[in-house]
Structure 1
Amino acid sequence: MARSTVTSKGQTTIPAEVRAALHAEPGTCLEWHVTPEGDVIVRAKTLSILHLAGTLKTEKHVDIEDMNPWSS
């Protein structure tokens, strides 16, 4: 089990084995969720929406002007 201590400023160091398991590098965003039972779930958000570019194939093309809901 990995362990860390919270400082008076509310900061902590993520143990190396946890960083390795999460593939967390400098700049990685961590999302913290507390369940009703008091368990904590931490997720490393290492991918951006840009990683999804090109994953959907479609023949339909929409012009930028058609995407604007306020255009006439």
Structure 2
Amino acid sequence: MTTATITSKGQITIPMKVRSDMGLAAGDRVEFVRMQDGHYAVVPASHSIRSLKGIVPRPDKPVSLEDMQDAIAAGANGQ
């Protein structure tokens, strides 16, 4: 188990192993999430926009503006 000490100002230093495991770097933010059992989980609150690269696959062929508009209209109509 990894531990940290709270300073007189209420600050802690997240140990390097934990930062590495969580993918955190200087300037990143974390959130403290209260769990149902009353404990808290510390989770990353922000990621670089670059971390989203590759999530949506490229289409096999270019999509026309008309196709995009049709898809938007279909989504708005709940189809």
Q: TM-score range by the shorter chain?
A: 0.5 to 0.7
Q: Could you tell me the percent identity over the aligned residues?
A: 27
Q: Which structure has the higher relative contact order (CA within 8 Å, separation 6+)?
A: 1
* Higher helix proportion (structure 1 or 2): 2
Structure possessing the higher radius of gyration over alpha carbons: 2
Stretches of structure 2 lacking an aligned partner (at least 5 in a row): 70-79
Stretches of structure 1 lacking an aligned partner (at least 5 in a row): 62-72
Structure 1 consecutive aligned stretches of length 4 or more whose deviation exceeds 6 Å: none
Q: Number of paired residues?
A: 61
| TM-score normalised by length of structure 1 | 0.62
SS at match of 1:24: coil
Equivalent residue, structure 2, for 1:16 = 16
- Root-mean-square deviation (Å): 2.9
| TM-score normalised by length of structure 2 | 0.58
